[in-house]
Structure 1
Amino acid sequence: MGMYASARGWLEINFKQWGTAQQIIQRYHHDLYSGGWAFPAKPFNWTLYLFYGGDIREQELDWLRETIAELAAMPPIDDDGDRPVGLFLITDERGRALLWQVRDGSLDEQPAPSLAWFGD
């Protein structure tokens, strides 16, 4: 049957990147797990937060990581050079925790044992 991991987190993107982000998510469409993506129903103020949350099979973590990595690589939209930033916590049934940090156009993964309690 396989093991599961819980994935939850967000990306902060520029409002002008909304369409590009939607295209990336659609390109990586997964019949079951794409439903975890959520844009605010009515964005406000200056930052657009794109959320993901769901329990997915461990073997599908590569799918999610590739999707987030491509979102992270979206080019800056203005002269400020701002890129997407974000944070995702991945916990699994074995009690392990990973932190995926998005900044400077890439996704960095590191162990996060102090956050493993989120998976309890």
Structure 2
Amino acid sequence: MGMYASARGWLQIDFKRRSTAEEIVRRHHHDLYSGGWAFPEAPFNWTLYLFYGGDIREAEVPWLREQVTELAAMPPVDDDGDRPAGLFLITDERGGAASWQVRDGGVDERPATFLAWLGE
């Protein structure tokens, strides 16, 4: 049957990158798990926050990671140089936890044992 992981997190991007972000998610469509992405219907102020939340098979975690990596790599839209930033927490049924820190165009994965209680 397989083990599951709980994935939840957010990305903040420039509004001008919304269509690019939607295209990245669309290219990686998964019949079951793509529904975990949430784009605000009526964004406000100056930052667009994208969210992901769902329980997915552990074998599909790389599918999600690939999307987050592509989203993180989106180039800045102006001279400010602002890139996507965010944080994802992945916990598994064995009590393991990892964080994906999105910044500077990449994703830095680290153990997050101090947050493993969120998976209980």
Which runs of structure 2 are paired with 1:1-80 in the superposition (5 Å)?
1-80=1-80
Which residue is 2:108 aligned to?
A: 108
Q: Distance in 1 between matches of 2:30 and 2:78?
A: 31
Stretches of 4+ moved more than 2 A in 1?
A: none
TM-score (norm 2): 0.99
1:86 aligned residue: 86
Count the aligned residue pairs: 120
Tell me the distance in 2 between the aligned counterparts of 1:2 and 1:19.
34
Separation of aligned partners in 1, 2:17 and 2:41: 16
CA deviations over 1:53-95 (Å, ceiling 9, x no partner): 0000000000000000000000100110100000000000000
User: What is the alpha-carbon distance in structure 2 between the residues aligned to residue 77 and residue 34 of structure 1?
Assistant: 26
Q: Distance in 2 between matches of 1:56 and 1:46?
A: 31
The alignment's C-alpha RMSD in Å is 0.4
- Which amino acid in 1 is paired with 2:14? N
* Runs (5+) with no aligned partner, structure 2: none
C-alpha deviation, 1:41, in angstroms: 1.6
Give 1:57's aligned amino acid: R
Percent identity over the alignment is: 75
Query: TM-score when scaled to structure 1?
Result: 0.99
What secondary structure, in the 3-state scheme, does the structure 2 residue paired with 1:99 have?
strand
